[in-house]
Amino acid sequence: EILVHLENVESMIKKKRNAMLEKKKKRTKDEKSSKGNIEEDLAVGASRDYELELARESVEKNLVSPGSLFASLLKPLLHVCRNSKSFAGHPRLMTNAVMCLCKMMYVSVEFCDEHLQLLFTL
């Protein structure tokens, strides 16, 4: 839910910034001043994009950091996924474990890099 909220805020900010750029384009008649204003707006927009990216990275790291709730679930999740032959008699458990593994990979790029091979061996 945190990532969904972050994506919604990010989308809203980008829409507002694009609307402001369009309004400024319509207002300016002089090409030179228009070009300068647009360049300034793009620089401000780039810095805001950078701030949003930093916020996204922070959320990703905190969701799977050692003290978080998700981190406490990783050990049993990885145990089930690594020992798929032992849990072959429990198809629902295996299905949910693989789905959870995929979702955790979606949340954290680092987690994905570390456990991508596991996903392909299942």
Q: What is the mean pLDDT of residues 6-15?
A: 74
Greater model confidence, 3 or 106 = 106
Name residues whose C-beta falls within 8 Å of residue 21's C-beta, 6 or more positions apart in sequence.
38, 41, 45
Q: What is the mean pLDDT of residues 40-66?
A: 71
**Cα-Cα end-to-end distance for the chain:** 27
Residue 64 and residue 107 in contact, taking contact as beta carbons nearer than 8 Å: yes
The mean pLDDT value of the chain amounts to 78
From 84, 59, 74, select the one nearest 111 (Cα to Cα): 74
Q: What is the mean pLDDT of residues 73-92?
A: 93
Name residues whose C-beta falls within 8 Å of residue 73's C-beta, 6 or more positions apart in sequence.
100
pLDDT of residue 40: 61
From 122, 45, 40, 114, select the one nearest 85 (Cα to Cα): 122
pLDDT of residue 60: 73
Greater model confidence, 89 or 51 = 89
